[in-house]
Structure 1
Amino acid sequence: MTSSWFSPSGGDLSAGYARHAGTLRGALRHALVARALRTHLPDGQQQVLDVGGGDGHQAAQLARAGHLVTVLDPDTAMLERAAARIAAEPGEVRDRVRLVEGDGEHAEDVVGGGFDAVLCHGVLMYVADPDRFIRHLARAARPGGLVSLMTKNQDALAMRPGLEGRWPDTLTALRGGPQLGNLGVTSRAHSAAAVATMLAEAGAATTAWYGVRVFTDHLGDAPVGENFDLVLDAEWEAGRRDPYRRVARLLHFVAWTAREGQ
């Protein structure tokens, strides 16, 4: 898999990712995914693989909760940011995080398998063969393990430009034209039905899915405000029910691989 954090001209996009993570939209994405993981991860310490874990934001949260986390990312600049983030944590948290350079399609070769949970958030939209990629993710999980996958919502691509009043871009999205993400990189999107099907074909049955950013996706680089907790609660409630979750910018799926003997 080619690193998604380099532009076609070769420019480093990891700094852009870091800036986005500090906005309301970025903060909500991380917080909503974290809440869903807390809801679904089993009790006790879990062995977690975070594929495309980027700057280690999710890994740090999981390690603080007591889990052992391996971050697998193909981009050196992102791993450097992750190393800096983890270095600022207390020793017991640092000791629970391992940073490895590599991509999800070679996860078993690089870090092995048998993980209690395999996470992959915001990567699927950049891979050329999503079906194959998801099969590799599922194989890295143990039997009965959790697979957490987040990607862009194909059925809601026109919502952001429409709410922002960018009518040519709105029509392009409605007509199925190419899309640029926050970082200016062309990306793909997937419908909820397609994601569930790909997971099922990889041997992972979906038990829950969420919409991420229903009400706030059009707010650009708005900063995190004092009412963040209220916004988070509103997004969480909308993101777990129809019809709201179907117009969210991102889809977050939680699935489980089959247990041995099933």
Structure 2
Amino acid sequence: MTEPGPRVTDNNWVLSRALAPAYHAHTATLRGVVRQHLVTRALRTHLPAPPGRILDVGGGDGTQAIALARDGYQVTICDPDPDMLGQASDSLLAEPAPVSARVSLVLGDGHDAATLVGDGWDATLCHGVLMYLPDPAPLLGVLVSLTRPGGTISLVGKNATALALRAGLQARWHEAVSLLDDETTGTEIGNLGVPSRGDDPLQIQDLLAAAGADPVIWHGIRVFTDHLGDTPPGPDLDTVLEAEWQAGRRDPYRQVARLYHLIHIRRS
């Protein structure tokens, strides 16, 4: 008997960005592996114990959701790109039935998540989305409202205060100077080949606080490996991951990390 696949709810006004192939390729590089591993490690430290209901806004190809489903969480991905959700669906077919059954897929924009999936979530994730928005504040307010009082909010975004570092380490000097001249929200062509921008993590913390969520901790992601391009993981991966984890938890290293990972709790 064929096991039922993940549930997909359509929302017919969504415009696909068709970024799935580029994103899938990126997740297999050392940079992609470092990001996913560090985020999952932090979530396992700070999320409420499973089982619990988790909403992954912009969860894309399901890499994060599947890792959490394996841990016993019920995870719903809400993403506006049908190609990304197709990747997630394909990946879920390779998972054991109990894991696949714990993941639901919803096609739609995160700003409308309350209508699409409701609220009261034990944790709300939004990883790698803010850099594509001209103004992160509206979505941040939505994320807090979706989360139950006392629940966890997890954000991963591009660190605007350190965007020039990659270009400089790769000897792309003109780009480095340009980013240094606009280090508050510098715009660049990112890993997926489309324009993206950064935010100061402290400003994102302030916006979350104004929306009703208190900070717990923030980590830096890719302190040492961000400039390595599409380098694949090597035999020293475990050591690389530990070095990145340790550096990303402390200053001054986390200040120059490519990405920030913020953990907040919604006020009761």
TM-score normalised over the length of structure 2: 0.92
Counterpart for residue 227 of structure 2: 218
Match of 2:28 among 22, 29, 32: 22
Q: What is the alpha-carbon distance in structure 2 between the residues aligned to residue 113 and residue 50 of structure 1?
A: 12
- Runs (5+) with no aligned partner, structure 1: 7-11
Q: CA deviation at 1:13?
A: 2.3
Match of 2:253 among 244, 251, 255: 244
Determine if the alignment matches structure 1 residue 92 to structure 2 residue 104. no
Query: How much identity, in percent, do the aligned residues show?
Result: 51
Kept in 1, the 8 Å contact 2:119–2:147? The answer is yes
Q: CA deviation at 1:3?
A: 7.5
Counterpart for residue 8 of structure 2: none
Counterpart for residue 9 of structure 1: none
Counterpart for residue 145 of structure 1: 151
Determine if the alignment matches structure 1 residue 155 to structure 2 residue 164. no
Counterpart for residue 115 of structure 1: 121
Match of 2:181 among 167, 175, 178: 175
Q: What is the alpha-carbon distance in structure 2 between the residues aligned to residue 123 and residue 192 of structure 1?
A: 14
Kept in 2, the 8 Å contact 1:5–1:14? The answer is no
Q: Cα distance 1:15–1:3, how it changes in 2: closer, same or farther (>3 A)?
A: farther
Residue aligned with 1:63, SS? helix
Aligned length: 253
Q: What is the alpha-carbon distance in structure 2 between the residues aligned to residue 4 and residue 171 of structure 1?
A: 34
Q: CA deviation at 1:5?
A: 6.6
- 1:13 counterpart letter in structure 2: L
Q: Cα distance 1:198–1:4, how it changes in 2: closer, same or farther (>3 A)?
A: farther
Kept in 2, the 8 Å contact 1:172–1:178? The answer is no
Match of 1:196 among 192, 200, 205: 205
Counterpart for residue 112 of structure 2: 106
Kept in 2, the 8 Å contact 1:54–1:82? The answer is yes
Q: What is the alpha-carbon distance in structure 1 between the residues aligned to residue 177 and residue 43 of structure 2?
A: 35
Q: Cα distance 1:189–1:155, how it changes in 2: closer, same or farther (>3 A)?
A: same
Q: CA deviation at 1:115?
A: 0.4
Kept in 2, the 8 Å contact 1:24–1:224? The answer is yes
Q: CA deviation at 1:185?
A: 1.2
Residue aligned with 2:68, SS? helix
Q: Cα distance 1:3–1:226, how it changes in 2: closer, same or farther (>3 A)?
A: farther
- 2:191 counterpart letter in structure 1: N
- Superposed CA offset, 1:120-160 (max 9, x none): 00001111321111000111101111000010001101100
Kept in 1, the 8 Å contact 2:16–2:82? The answer is no
Match of 1:231 among 222, 230, 240: 240
Q: What is the alpha-carbon distance in structure 1 between the residues aligned to residue 103 and residue 189 of structure 2?
A: 32
Counterpart for residue 140 of structure 2: 134
Q: What is the alpha-carbon distance in structure 1 between the residues aligned to residue 50 and residue 143 of structure 2?
A: 22
Q: CA deviation at 1:18?
A: 0.4
Q: CA deviation at 1:60?
A: 0.6
Kept in 1, the 8 Å contact 2:187–2:198? The answer is no
Residue aligned with 2:219, SS? strand
Determine if the alignment matches structure 1 residue 54 to structure 2 residue 60. yes
- Superposed CA offset, 1:177-200 (max 9, x none): 531111121112111211110110
Kept in 2, the 8 Å contact 1:212–1:248? The answer is yes
Counterpart for residue 264 of structure 2: 255
Residue aligned with 2:59, SS? coil
Kept in 1, the 8 Å contact 2:50–2:71? The answer is no
Q: What is the alpha-carbon distance in structure 2 between the residues aligned to residue 72 and residue 257 of structure 1?
A: 20
